[in-house]
Amino acid sequence: MRVLIVEDEPNLGRQLRATLEGAGYAVDLATDGEEGHFLGSTETYDAIILDLGLPEIDGLTVLDRWRKEGRTAPVLVLTARDSWSDKVAGLDAGADDYVAKPFQTEELIARLRALIRRASGNASAELIAGDIRLDTRSGKVTKAGEPVKLTAQEYKLLSYLIHHKGKVVSRTELIEHIYDQDFDRDSNTIEVFVTRIRKKLGSDVITTIRGLGYSLDEPGAPAPVA
């Protein structure tokens, strides 16, 4: 999953980026409202962490612009402002959740996971496809109750597909959501990771839809069509 952090405090921004990358997210970092608005308007994110007190353009204005542009990525507002009126203003501008500084990193990550799950229509922290289970809290994957060891990139790809179970996901979409903006998008790593996941979880766990992309479905379900 790919996340944008818009935060002007250098230490906090670097800390959040390192923490989220350690938790398995692909992360882009913007340090002012202008850069944040540009990235949020031109790149694809599964969630955005947005500070309100930003230079150049304030966070509420950035959020309002995104929503007016039709950008629907879940936004978690992060700010030192803790009055009820600031919370109301953030939510009314289109925020999906709100965390006031100082905060516990574990809480922020938990809220982020919940936003991403809900945005893809998943209510539970444990995502299931047949005998495959992926626990978004621990990052553990099992097949028929047995643990399966995946690399970080294999986990990211599987996580995105299982969040969007039953849907056809193009190679381009996968690249946009599991890598940050500096990744070489002409790389063939997606195909490599799909092959590795099939070897570990079964050849039929990911279906290739010729000319369209990939799909992860319940066993026995008909292959999706575009």
Is the model's pTM score more than 0.75?
A: yes
* Digit-coded pLDDT (tens) for 89-104: 888 889 999 988 888 9
pLDDT at 86 over 90: no
Q: How much is the average pLDDT of 5-29? A: 94
Could you tell me which residues are beta bridge partners of residue 134?
127, 141
pLDDT at 220 over 80: no
Q: Under CATH, what is the fold of the domain 126-216?
A: Arc Repressor Mutant, subunit A (1.10.10)
Of 1-10, 30-39, 53-62, 212-221, the least confident = 212-221
* Digit-coded pLDDT (tens) for 116-157: 999 988 888 899 999 999 999 899 999 999 999 999 999 999
Could you tell me which residues are beta bridge partners of residue 216?
206
Where in the chain do CATH 1.10.10.10 domains reside? 126-216
* Digit-coded pLDDT (tens) for 149-171: 999 999 999 999 999 999 999 99
The confidence band for 189, taking pLDDT boundaries of 50, 70 and 90, is confident
> Please, which residues have CB within 8 angstroms of residue 211's CB and are 6 or more apart in sequence?
none
Residues of the chain with pLDDT > 70: what percent?
A: 92
* Digit-coded pLDDT (tens) for 24-52: 899 999 999 999 999 999 999 999 999 99
Where in the chain do CATH 3.40.50.2300 domains reside? 2-119
Q: How much is the average pLDDT of 175-191? A: 79
Predicted local distance difference test score (pLDDT) of residue 186: 63
Predicted local distance difference test score (pLDDT) of residue 223: 52
The confidence band for 81, taking pLDDT boundaries of 50, 70 and 90, is low
Give DSSP secondary structure letters for 138-171.
TTEEEETTEEE---HHHHHHHHHHHHTTTS-B-H
Long-range CB contacts (< 8 A, 24+ apart) of 140-143?
141/201, 143/201, 143/202
Predicted local distance difference test score (pLDDT) of residue 226: 46
Of 7-21, 76-90, 129-143, the least confident = 76-90
Q: What is the CATH number of domain 2-119?
A: 3.40.50.2300
Mean pLDDT of the chain: 89
- Is 204 in contact with 197 (CB distance < 8 Å)? no
Predicted local distance difference test score (pLDDT) of residue 75: 97
